[in-house]
Structure 1
Amino acid sequence: MADFAPDVWTHPRLMAAVFEEDWGAVFRTYRRLTGVSQMTLGARVGLVQPDVSEIERGRRRVTSVEVRQRIVAGLGIPPERLPGAVAEGDALPVPGLAFAGVTPDEDLLARVTTAVDGAHRVDGATLDWLDRLLAEHRRAEDFIGSAPLVEVMGQQLRTVVDLYAGARGPLAGRVVRLASEHAQFLAWMAQDQGRSAAALAWYDRSHEWALEAGDADMAATTLSMKAHMAWSGGRGRRCVRLAEAARWSAPGASPGVQGMAAQMAARGHALNREGDAARRLLDEAQDLITHAATRPEDEPPWMYFYDDTWFTLQHGMAAMHLGAWRTATRHLTSGLAALPPNYRRDRAWYRSCLAHAHAAAGEAEQSLAAALASVPDASDVGRPHAWHELHTTAAVLLRRGAAEGRELMDALQAHD
């Protein structure tokens, strides 16, 4: 549903602009043919309106591969129109996924289609279905990883943004809230793939829409996730500041969302080797999680993963930063034992962390066992993070003179 004028890509001027990768001409011609505004076009390709204007005027060039990919996907440019397109009959990537039980019936599909085309107003049933579809995609990503879902989620967000024109009254706010949730999910998937710039841009967009919709839970969540990015990059002080901002800037957030922010601040302090502050905030986060568990219906849908098991695993991560290796292995082992098998990506990550903790504790055999258990999933759905952690584990073992280090390196090289 990226473009609702299928013949637009047969227009000779637009075809020539795409082939020459003259993105300013692509934007100008596309808007002239479809009648969309710079703001709508920007929403489809993940750019703000001033950037679209600068590109159209030739004052800014598109040099980033990531931005180019967003334009191609966002405007629905057919692969055969691109330079170097594959020949007819060659394999092309699967364009999307379908999940049993979330396909709309004929009546709902008609309402979705006509709402997007602007012929009718948006109704609650349409938004209920999109809510459910987003929830299904979130859970699918836990198992298959983010790579297969990026394109389909981008298409879904464009559908939601286009619904805004037909929304009235309370439904308009609900559409903005739904757009914010989609943008947050896209940000997380970009972060998972190591595309930090794209992730930050999507988190900013999600935060802006959350504020517009008055959604304290999502506004706080986006700041906590940016704190997580800072933590992933080894920036403990920034992690703490963003996590604290998530708490004071959204006092109306749910206990679970507040607990997430508290444990993120704890991990930032742990990264800085500030043990007392880390332990105090972990205790506070535990109280908030316990409170949230008494009323799960009050938590936003994207917090489905946030429970005592997840917190136990995060406790293990904080212990790793503080050099409490056996405490870390205890928490990580306990958390992994309770983690459901459908969390395939998370199992790869936490197993790789457990392997690292065992290696640092001098437990080479246990480290190798955990690492080898992680390798298949880390290779398939856990790159780049779990894969990098396994290489770090091998380096720790080799520095300690453990033969298991070479065995692990061989296993990693076999999957490279």
Structure 2
Amino acid sequence: MTAPGLSIWSHPELLSVLAAEDWGGVLRTYRRLSGLSQTRVGELVGLVQPDVSDIERGCRRVTSSEVRQRIVNGLKAPAHVASPDRQPVPGLALPGAGPDEDLLARLTGTADATHKVDSPTLDWLDRLLAEHRSAEDLIGSRPLVALMRRQLRSVIDLYGGARGPLAGRVVRLASEHAQFLAWMAQDQGQTAAALAWYDRSHDWALEAGDADMAATTLSMKAHMAWSGGRGDRAVRLAEAARWSAPDASPGVRGMAAQMAARGHALNGAGSDARRLLDEAQALITRASEHPEDEPAWMYFYGDTWFTLQRGMIAMHLRDRVDAIAHLRTGLAGLADGYRRDRTWYGCCLAHAYAGAGEAAEALAVALPLVPDAATVGRPHSWNELHVTAAALIRAGAKEGRLLVEALRQHDCLSPAEGRMMRTSASG
């Protein structure tokens, strides 16, 4: 169920299915979050229980505007999301006026591929991609994947009509879209798809002469290796990002140095990790002095994010006190719009508290994160909460069982997950 004190409509999964007009998803998700029966929800929206069941199972489509409005009114859905003129995903409205009709036709594929490409088209796509990145920070990757695939298709279709420098811009834009799709696949635990998209992005970046993106894709593959517990591979890929693109921006080179530090920390090489962290910190300082020289996708990279990374490295080096201090400081400075990151680093903080033997603090941090971990934080934050619960149970802390119960109530542990938790507790 939704955490006490929060409106059920603050939940990103519920907002997402409403924005997509997935009425079966709206009813299912609302019931799961509220704990209400199909009969009770039917009473709220003016439908009998069998009709609610049919809509949830996809056996009946909601085509009547009158029924749609009854669902919206009965469940007290936010009008700005349910209104007909809303954006496809909440929060994606662009600043300023949208494209003219001719430009919109090109972006949606109704113009043929030989149509002349111009700078306003590509400028608008740049802005749209930036908005999607920001939205993904808030609502997670799942609602955006299909949209971004279509958008990349539109970019590729523009290549046939691009001439001169504009052709290079189209390839560069395609590389950025592929990198974003790779990140979203990685966020959902789809390793093979993520690697394929990173490789495609890297190839296009080389073709476009974009050293920043070429280095970034290698750094993100290093991040994947780190996520999989492969410290040596993380170091090799991060070092490749550093030496293969010496002309990359300070921020991009700082990210590569920091990724190498994470790999060393995973291997327990504290001196190498701290040396590279200091190098990365110096590069971040340089980047902050000239933010206009940094690529658009580095918008998140600053002192707050780096403080959080120091906390992660301290966790690998089993310095729980330092990890807790850095994670708490970083989370305090992280804007609310970074919902996914706030969830992830909050779960890491709970884990750090559990590792330090501070069970009450671990539970206090973990419980409010359960709803977002189940949606925008799957699978990584969700798994981190399971690891935290297992650590508490192994330590004999009652808080471990309480966290397991919260996870079960919110999203129902599968039998396999239950077995995993029991094995972890006894191991």
Structure 1: runs of 5+ lacking an equivalent: 1-84
Q: For residues 152-189 of structure 1, what are the alpha-carbon distances to aligned partners after superposition, in whole Å with 9 as ceiling and x for unaligned? A: 00000000001000000000000000000000000000
* 1:397 counterpart residue number: 392
* 1:303 counterpart residue number: 298
2:166 matched to 1:194?
no
1:136 partner SS: helix
Distance in 2, Cα, partners of 1:387 & 1:174: 38
403-412 or 111-120: bigger deviation: 111-120
* 1:235 counterpart residue number: 230
Q: Report how far residue 119 of structure 1 moved.
A: 4.3
Distance in 2, Cα, partners of 1:266 & 1:119: 47
- Asked if 2 retains the 8 angstrom alpha-carbon contact of 1:115 and 1:163, the reply is no
Q: Report how far residue 107 of structure 1 moved.
A: 4.2
* 1:348 counterpart residue number: 343
Distance in 1, Cα, partners of 2:367 & 2:114: 56
- Asked if 1 retains the 8 angstrom alpha-carbon contact of 2:113 and 2:161, the reply is yes
In the TM superposition, 1:249-398 aligns within 5 A as: 249-398=244-393
- Asked if 1 retains the 8 angstrom alpha-carbon contact of 2:94 and 2:128, the reply is no
- The percent identity for this pair of structures is 72
- Structure 2 counterpart of 1:122, from 114, 117, 120: 117
Distance in 1, Cα, partners of 2:105 & 2:378: 39
2:121 matched to 1:138?
no
- Asked if 1 retains the 8 angstrom alpha-carbon contact of 2:87 and 2:93, the reply is no
2:97 matched to 1:100?
no
1:323 partner SS: coil
Q: Report how far residue 374 of structure 1 moved.
A: 1.5
- Asked if 2 retains the 8 angstrom alpha-carbon contact of 1:351 and 1:373, the reply is no
Which consecutive aligned stretches of 4+ in structure 1 deviate over 4 angstroms post-superposition? 85-88, 110-116
Q: For residues 190-209 of structure 1, what are the alpha-carbon distances to aligned partners after superposition, in whole Å with 9 as ceiling and x for unaligned? A: 00000000000000000000
Q: Report how far residue 344 of structure 1 moved.
A: 0.3
Count residues with an aligned counterpart. Answer: 330
Structure 2: runs of 5+ lacking an equivalent: 1-56, 64-85, 412-427
- Asked if 1 retains the 8 angstrom alpha-carbon contact of 2:105 and 2:111, the reply is no
- Asked if 2 retains the 8 angstrom alpha-carbon contact of 1:114 and 1:120, the reply is no
Distance in 1, Cα, partners of 2:215 & 2:110: 31
Q: Which amino acid aligns with 1:213?
A: A
Q: Report how far residue 373 of structure 1 moved.
A: 2.3
Taking only aligned residues, the RMSD between alpha carbons, in angstroms, comes to: 1.9
2:54 matched to 1:89?
no
- Asked if 1 retains the 8 angstrom alpha-carbon contact of 2:314 and 2:323, the reply is yes
- Asked if 1 retains the 8 angstrom alpha-carbon contact of 2:331 and 2:346, the reply is yes
- Asked if 1 retains the 8 angstrom alpha-carbon contact of 2:232 and 2:263, the reply is yes
The 3 A distance-change label for structure 1 pair 152 and 369 is same
Distance in 2, Cα, partners of 1:114 & 1:396: 52
- Asked if 1 retains the 8 angstrom alpha-carbon contact of 2:257 and 2:276, the reply is yes
Q: For residues 393-413 of structure 1, what are the alpha-carbon distances to aligned partners after superposition, in whole Å with 9 as ceiling and x for unaligned? A: 001111111111111111111
Q: For residues 126-175 of structure 1, what are the alpha-carbon distances to aligned partners after superposition, in whole Å with 9 as ceiling and x for unaligned? A: 00000000000000000000000000000000000010000000000000
1:393 partner SS: helix
Q: Report how far residue 90 of structure 1 moved.
A: 6.1
Q: Normalised by the size of structure 2, how large is the TM-score?
A: 0.75
* 1:173 counterpart residue number: 168
Q: Normalised by the size of structure 1, how large is the TM-score?
A: 0.77
In the TM superposition, 1:18-97 aligns within 5 A as: 89=61, 96-97=88-89
- Asked if 2 retains the 8 angstrom alpha-carbon contact of 1:96 and 1:152, the reply is no
Q: Which amino acid aligns with 1:322?
A: L
* 2:75 counterpart residue number: none
1:276 partner SS: helix
